């Protein structure tokens, strides 16, 4: 089986033009099949403020009303996605930018919740793996924006971490998939105050040990639970670390590698 690297970059990279350019150069240089999933960063929040569209928050969660959906569609699937694609093309990487609507890449449903109406937020139902296979096998690099569709013409705002995970799982049936989550720290830390305390490798046995001894920072638990869920669904490795160290993350020389073995 061929290897596919699925990497998710977050706001800390997207909001910093210099960091983004350096990262895209690194990413373009990675050999083989790859998918990039990007989040939104602060640009959508800024555009909403410039347009006087108030961001509704309920219980600390952002609500995607119709105006906000329009803004995130413009910013994520338009501005950010197309600029990333153009920069990758300039670096010799044949990128193709897609939302979940394009080629029916990702269908989702409007989130159902007993008490909160999240608005136009989508939870993923299905990823079109055969479209990804076609593009990857034709030497294209997919750049996915965190916008999905419900199949009835409605676009939906979807969490980029989730999109990366669902794409990785869908590709896991056909490829050896490495899923890389980049964030602001060097990896999963034993001591949250010490950037050099990165745990290089976590498997299920060690994860249970770490949890029992309460050695893992509470904020990391959902990320790690998600990682193990991906591993249970066909993804070979999940790697968590800094986007700036992409090459070392891929080879396991940096970041935290999570495996099921």
Residues 22-81 contacting a second copy, CB under 8 A? 50-51, 70, 73-79, 81
Euclidean distance between CA atoms 20 and 58, whole angstroms: 32
CB 155 within 8 A of CB 73: yes
Q: Does 85 bind a second copy (CB under 8 A)?
A: yes
Nearer to a second copy, 63 or 140 (CB): 140
Closest approach, Cβ 88 to a second copy, in A, equals 9
Nearest residue to 16 (alpha-carbon basis) of 38, 41, 45:
41
Alpha helices in the chain (DSSP H): 11-14, 17-29, 43-50, 66-72, 81-90, 129-137, 160-171, 204-212, 221-232, 246-251
Closest approach, Cβ 48 to a second copy, in A, equals 12
The CB density around residue 158, as the number of other CB atoms within 10 Å, is 27
Residues 168-227 contacting a second copy, CB under 8 A? none
Nearer to a second copy, 76 or 181 (CB): 76
Tokens 């090459």 correspond to what residue?
A: 247
Among the listed ranges 134-142, 171-179, 208-216, 236-244, the one in contact with a second copy (CB under 8 A) is 134-142
| Chain CA centroid to CA 113, Å | 23
Closest approach, Cβ 52 to a second copy, in A, equals 8
Among the listed ranges 96-104, 201-209, 222-230, 242-250, the one in contact with a second copy (CB under 8 A) is 96-104
Interface with a second copy (CB under 8 A), residue from 9, 95, 136, 243: 95
Closest approach, Cβ 137 to a second copy, in A, equals 10
Closest approach, Cβ 211 to a second copy, in A, equals 41
Nearer to a second copy, 74 or 190 (CB): 74
Q: In the numeric block, which tokens belong to residue 9? A: 């970059």
Euclidean distance between CA atoms 155 and 141, whole angstroms: 23
Closest approach, Cβ 89 to a second copy, in A, equals 6
CB 89 within 8 A of CB 123: no
Between vectors from CA 38 to CA 192 and to CA 158, what angle results, nearest 5°? 95
Interface with a second copy (CB under 8 A), residue from 60, 114, 138, 193: 138
CA distances from 251 to 56, 220, 245 (A): 42, 22, 10
Closest approach, Cβ 226 to a second copy, in A, equals 27
Tokens 């639970």 correspond to what residue?
A: 225
Applying CB under 8 A, the residues found at the interface with a second copy are: 50-51, 70, 73-79, 81-83, 85-87, 89-90, 94-99, 101-104, 134, 138, 140, 147, 149, 151-155
């Amino acid at each position: 089986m061929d290897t596919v690297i699925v990497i998710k970059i977050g706001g800390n990279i997207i909001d910093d033009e210099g960091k983004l350019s350096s990262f895209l150069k690194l990413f373009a240089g990675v050999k083989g099949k790859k998918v990039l999933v990007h989040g939104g960063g602060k640009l959508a929040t800024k555009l909403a403020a410039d347009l006087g569209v108030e961001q509704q928050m309920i219980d600390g969660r952002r609500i995607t009303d119709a105006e906000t959906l329009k803004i995130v569609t413009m910013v994520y699937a338009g501005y950010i996605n197309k600029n990333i694609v153009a920069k990758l093309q300039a670096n010799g990487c044949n990128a193709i930018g897609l939302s979940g609507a394009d080629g029916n890449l990702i269908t989702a449903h409007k989130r159902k919740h007993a008490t909160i109406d999240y608005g136009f937020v989508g939870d993923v139902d299905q990823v079109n793996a055969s479209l990804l296979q076609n593009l990857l096998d034709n030497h294209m690099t997919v750049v996915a924006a965190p916008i999905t569709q419900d199949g009835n013409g409605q676009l939906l705002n979807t969490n980029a971490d989730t999109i990366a995970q669902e794409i990785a799982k869908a590709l896991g049936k056909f490829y050896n998939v490495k899923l890389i989550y980049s964030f602001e720290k060097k990896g999963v830390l034993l001591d949250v105050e010490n950037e050099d305390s990165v745990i290089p490798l976590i498997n299920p046995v060690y994860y249970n040990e770490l949890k029992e001894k309460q050695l893992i920072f509470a904020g990391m638990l959902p990320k790690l639970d998600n990682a193990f869920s991906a591993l249970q669904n066909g993804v070979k490795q999940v790697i968590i670390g800094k986007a700036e160290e992409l090459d070392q993350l891929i080879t396991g020389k940096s970041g935290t590698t999570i495996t099921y073995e």
